[in-house]
Chains A and B, each alone.
Chain A
């Protein structure tokens, strides 16, 4: 993953003079992701069978499961990148931008997970929402990272933004196990009857498992492609602000005369 190495994006001008956020690597990943998505559509909609209990609605799981996997992956990346920013000597802004890009994508994917999950729930359980431990944790995760993104937009210098959001990024990680723990005990104490008796477990046959596997690959590639582009776009935004500062600086110096 050398292309994701923050060092290359850190020094503002090197390699960033191009007007595009694409490179050979992202193009390759993009093509691979497109192919994988095509396979997913083929297997998910055509080749895999409908479920005995759930019927056609089982096909929603081929999006639902991969998106939540990608969401968790992206929040792990955000946490690791936040830690790398805070605890490495160089305090490279590249890590900060990677953390931000990953969190943005994570929030989008959790949103997608919840949406698809609600549709699936309506078809399978008869309701959009169940107060199930995993669902509740996911919903709180969604709001927590929306808060993280709000902190990123508070303004100030790049370093201020990086430090503040890295700290909040790590605090959010602290929260996940606590939230999960609390909803797990909560739901295990209150065994409410589910609306339909099926709790969502399916006996997957080989084709279905394979389709799910393609889904995970396809969405992971999509994540990789998005995060690389977004990280570079953020680097360009930062660079633009730095250029803006240079211009403003020159203007201010001119204002003081040539003394």
Chain B
């Protein structure tokens, strides 16, 4: 491990491309254990790419990116399974029920049935919704199901892209409380959101993303 193992995310002048477009044009950013960092910025600023890069889905073209102490260009595989990503897509199988989906994702990291049950309880998709096919859910309910799958997986780094979008008031509160508890228990959270009021009260720190570069807004 490199000397600076404390930083969960440590980006230095990172460039990443979507096709030929440099979505990240030299992002530098450091996130410590237990932080909840809000990524702010207009559409197309590179927030989504930044999150996907940290999850190992978008390759680092230039610069260095360390996540959980591992260089993403060298051993992405060792970062994975400690990272949970909720992107624009939910990663759900439409033909399976809520509980089947959550169980499947929990099983990929060997989580127990009890953890599945508590995660579903927490995101409000237990009981009546559990045996409903995902194709019959509303957008917000799908989001909650995806979040339950994420909660059950006990990730060390949570990467959430617009997690509040489409959720009702109660689900947002559930989510925020879950994130705070996870952070208190030693997880680290990166959130990209346009729901600034809510996200700012949740976050411990803000980072502005402007034209593919990250600028620390400092501690709150």
Residues of A within 8 A of B17 (CB): 157, 245
Task: Tell me, yes or no, whether B149 is within 8 Å of chain A by CB.
Answer: no
- Chain B, 201-220, contact with A by CB distance < 8 Å: what is the 0/1 string? 00000000011110100000
Residues of B within 8 A of A155 (CB): 19
Task: Tell me, yes or no, whether A209 is within 8 Å of chain B by CB.
Answer: no
Given known A159-B59, A160-B59, A256-B25, contact A245–B20 (CB-CB < 8 A): yes
Task: Tell me, yes or no, whether A153 is within 8 Å of chain B by CB.
Answer: no
Task: Tell me, yes or no, whether A244 is within 8 Å of chain B by CB.
Answer: yes
Q: Count residues of chain B with CB under 8 A from any CB of chain A.
A: 15
A259–B59 Cα distance when bound, in Å, is 26
B211 x A256 contact (CB < 8 A): yes
Q: At the interface, is chain B mostly helix, strand, loop or mixed?
A: strand
Task: Report the stretch among A12-20, A127-135, A246-254 that lies at the interface.
Answer: A246-254
Residues of A within 8 A of B211 (CB): 252-253, 255-257
A157 x B61 contact (CB < 8 A): yes
Given known A157-B61, A249-B25, contact A256–B213 (CB-CB < 8 A): yes
List residues of B (179-220) whose CB comes within 8 Å of A's CBs.
Answer: 210-213, 215
A244 x B210 contact (CB < 8 A): no
Task: Tell me, yes or no, whether A241 is within 8 Å of chain B by CB.
Answer: yes
Contact check: which of A160, A248, A257 meets B20 at CB < 8 Å?
Answer: A248
Task: Tell me, yes or no, whether B26 is within 8 Å of chain A by CB.
Answer: yes
A253 x B26 contact (CB < 8 A): yes
B15 x A249 contact (CB < 8 A): yes
Residues of A within 8 A of B20 (CB): 241, 244-245, 248
Contact check: which of B22, B210, B215 meets A249 at CB < 8 Å?
Answer: B22
- Chain A, 148-171, contact with B by CB distance < 8 Å: what is the 0/1 string? 000000010101100000000000
B215 x A248 contact (CB < 8 A): no
A253 x B59 contact (CB < 8 A): no
**Shortest CB–CB separation between residue A164 and chain B, in angstroms?**
12
Residues of A within 8 A of B210 (CB): 256-257, 259
Given known A244-B20, A245-B20, contact A252–B212 (CB-CB < 8 A): yes
User: Residue on A with the closest CB to B45?
Assistant: A256
A249–B13 Cα distance when bound, in Å, is 12
- Chain B, 15-30, contact with A by CB distance < 8 Å: what is the 0/1 string? 1010111100110000
List residues of B (1-59) whose CB comes within 8 Å of A's CBs.
Answer: 15, 17, 19-22, 25-26, 59
Residues of B within 8 A of A245 (CB): 15, 17, 20, 22, 61
**Shortest CB–CB separation between residue A255 and chain B, in angstroms?**
4
Residues of A within 8 A of B26 (CB): 249, 253
Residues of B within 8 A of A241 (CB): 20
A74–B194 Cα distance when bound, in Å, is 54
Among the interface residues B21, B25, B210, B213, which one has the most CB atoms of the partner chain A within 10 A?
Answer: B25
Contacts A157-B61, A245-B15, A253-B211 aside, 13 further interface pairs with beta carbons under 8 A come to A157-B17, A157-B59, A241-B20, A245-B20, A248-B20, A248-B22, A249-B22, A252-B22, A253-B25, A253-B212, A256-B25, A256-B211, A257-B210
What are 16 sample pairs from A and B whose C-beta atoms fall under 8 A apart? Answer: A155-B19, A157-B61, A159-B59, A241-B20, A244-B20, A248-B20, A248-B21, A249-B15, A249-B22, A249-B26, A252-B25, A253-B212, A255-B211, A256-B210, A256-B211, A257-B210
